[in-house]
Structure 1
């Protein structure tokens, strides 16, 4: 579908573009929705960005968009109005009413700096009013500097600015305790406790007026804005937010949030992060999304393959009036005859011969098979024999709740190369109750009349090999029978022959 994406990235700043680049390079169909309002849009140059020192922020973003487009990433201008969970997709509604769906979303909308309520600060923001000594300090070093202390930055920002110049003034209306005052005055920092009323540009400098009518002229004023993070559009996915200033999204190192399909990067998770940090978190979020999608792709492939395999078994049963004889397997019966009856689960029960035999001997038997036709026939067989046995459709023991005194798997083979035999047998072991037993009867060798087997013939292993591959906890499982038993049979041409059955009987002692 045209508007269905692997990933939609909300926000086209450095974090969003870094995520998009990783996803584009991973051949993911990716859309970036960008409102065109990056946090550093007021700055003419970036600093502290290795390899890009002095580059205009707009230039970096333009280069980033070009790089992303080279990998197939698409862009749309606008903002997101709503984000809604629809199960295996997220519905992204833009403010113009258009709708996109995505398997994953990266929120990289950044923050808005709420400046102190002083007239003139916003007009000079990014010019003579600055926020980060690391981003802007070198350019004003050695000049007349001031700090408007706020709860967000405190006096820490003052100490950082003092590293840049010997001429530093701090404006604060908050009480400065004796210890803090001693630290500041020891470094020749002037403390002004009068409230700042206004600031305005003057010949490339900044004139600051205080409540007492005094005016201070400085070359730059540093102040920390309160971070504001607007995530109203994401209310429908109920993301966990931190108690830090601005209530940023909680995300791990891969950008994963509390929602399995929502990732986040940049200042929306780290309000005080600089450009390199935002780029790095965006890159990790893009990789995190791709890793999640890769895992989901493989899981879906397994589900599809399993569904196809189960459909093939159903077709095999449905196209035959009766697939098996309905008689119990002789090798299984010989082993089970010596066991005390209890609860039993027959995995791959087919048309019910083994489970019905167990029920006739006092076992409370349950059979599970992927074929609905086989299950119906098994239930009919139990009814005709006058026994109570439960048969259900399911994919192995994992689809049946509870624990059993005996879990049986007889000739659980398939001609499919990727048949998950070991997984099914381990699932069967998980359903054995303490003190109960796992009985596996298998083909230990090909029939003597089969001189050549097809390429994808079932793998036939000895019981010793099977036991080693199961890798069950030796402290929890005690082998009781690990052997090959010969069973008399008749070859297709009517001649007397034999089959080798592998028998593995394990008791759960844990």
Structure 2
């Protein structure tokens, strides 16, 4: 019986395991090895680690777990059920493990198969977040790809912060009515021709259009749709928000007792989106670990809820 099992070995999961290990809890970290930020060459906005490659950040995080009673297993959780006083998890190899508290830090998956070539350039010429990549693309010629309002509106922010030469490519769809006026006022052109494919490399991306035209850009922004990487939260009965994210409270607790969620797999209902930053994921993991530890302490001391 573990005190804590953490599913997911990104910033949220690693920090949840670290904090729990430092409180002398017996911890198991299960990592399937498919980090969302693997395509990116650098991580940003993390104090003392700005510009660190994602793989290096994970390596350091795992290394710093070694002094504590934290096991790291590289496998996938295929099933989970509630079983007092906690949960039973089934792993890909058929093993079952038990825990008193469970932290899901499984993250989201970007859907980047909508345009040929998009997945090859995602994180390496096509970027989802101007907070994460805007500084590196400042002054470049930019395109914003998408037809949904949130995707198109990103062009206004990118043009305001990072580039004077920005074009919106709606991939054969009309520009959303609510975006047309602001884009025109900002002087941002819209190209409604279908996009056949993306090609090129970081720093030189070609948007090849369906009629044979080519738009040469140095970088492209695309706010890709996302979906939950893991079905575990839903299977355990946790409440999901309309966008599919796990609903958590200020303590990172889900609607299921003993189940916590951290990182971009979850958000507060008051927030419009999950924050996808490394530093906020790490903070969520720490927050979950602190409050689940308090639950464990109170349970063991017979102090009630």
Where do 1:323-362 residues align within 5 Å?
none
C-alpha displacement at 1:211, in angstroms?
2.0
Partner Cα separation in structure 2 for residue 250 and residue 202 of structure 1: 38
Name the residue aligned to 2:295: 292
Cα distance 1:202–1:71, how it changes in 2: closer, same or farther (>3 A)? closer
Partner Cα separation in structure 2 for residue 37 and residue 196 of structure 1: 29
Where do 1:165-244 residues align within 5 Å?
165-172=163-170, 173-176=172-175, 180-201=179-200, 204-244=203-243
Q: CA-to-partner distance for each residue in 1:267-303, whole Å, 9 max, x for gaps?
A: 1104442111111111101112101111111118x9x
Query: Does the Cα contact within 8 Å between 2:125 and 2:202 map onto a contact in 1?
Result: no
Cα distance 1:77–1:197, how it changes in 2: closer, same or farther (>3 A)? same
Where do 1:390-469 residues align within 5 Å?
none
Where do 1:105-144 residues align within 5 Å?
105-115=102-112, 117-144=114-141
Q: TM-score, structure 2 length as denominator?
A: 0.92
Provide structure 2 residue ranges, at least 5 long, that are not aligned to the other structure: 268-273
Partner Cα separation in structure 2 for residue 158 and residue 87 of structure 1: 50
Partner Cα separation in structure 2 for residue 152 and residue 232 of structure 1: 28
Q: Is 1:281 matched with 2:284? A: yes
Provide structure 1 residue ranges, at least 5 long, that are not aligned to the other structure: 303-510
Where do 1:294-309 residues align within 5 Å?
294-299=297-302
Query: Does the Cα contact within 8 Å between 2:148 and 2:176 map onto a contact in 1?
Result: no
Aligned with residue 99 of structure 1, among 90, 96, 100: 96
Query: Does the Cα contact within 8 Å between 2:145 and 2:152 map onto a contact in 1?
Result: no
Q: CA-to-partner distance for each residue in 1:81-102, whole Å, 9 max, x for gaps?
A: 1111111131011011111100
Name the residue aligned to 1:38: 35
Q: CA-to-partner distance for each residue in 1:165-223, whole Å, 9 max, x for gaps?
A: 11111111443366633322332312101111101115841111112221101011100
* SS of structure 2 residue aligned to 1:176: coil
Query: Does the Cα contact within 8 Å between 1:119 and 1:197 map onto a contact in 2?
Result: yes
Query: Does the Cα contact within 8 Å between 1:200 and 1:208 map onto a contact in 2?
Result: yes
Q: TM-score, structure 1 length as denominator?
A: 0.56
Name the residue aligned to 1:441: none
Runs of 4+ in 1 over 6 A off after TM superposition: none
RMSD: 1.9
Which has the higher mean CA deviation after the structures are superposed, 121-130 or 148-157? Answer: 148-157
Cα distance 1:110–1:150, how it changes in 2: closer, same or farther (>3 A)? farther
Structure (1 or 2) with the larger CA radius of gyration: 1
Q: How many residues align?
A: 296
Where do 1:51-62 residues align within 5 Å?
51-62=48-59
Query: Does the Cα contact within 8 Å between 1:5 and 1:103 map onto a contact in 2?
Result: yes
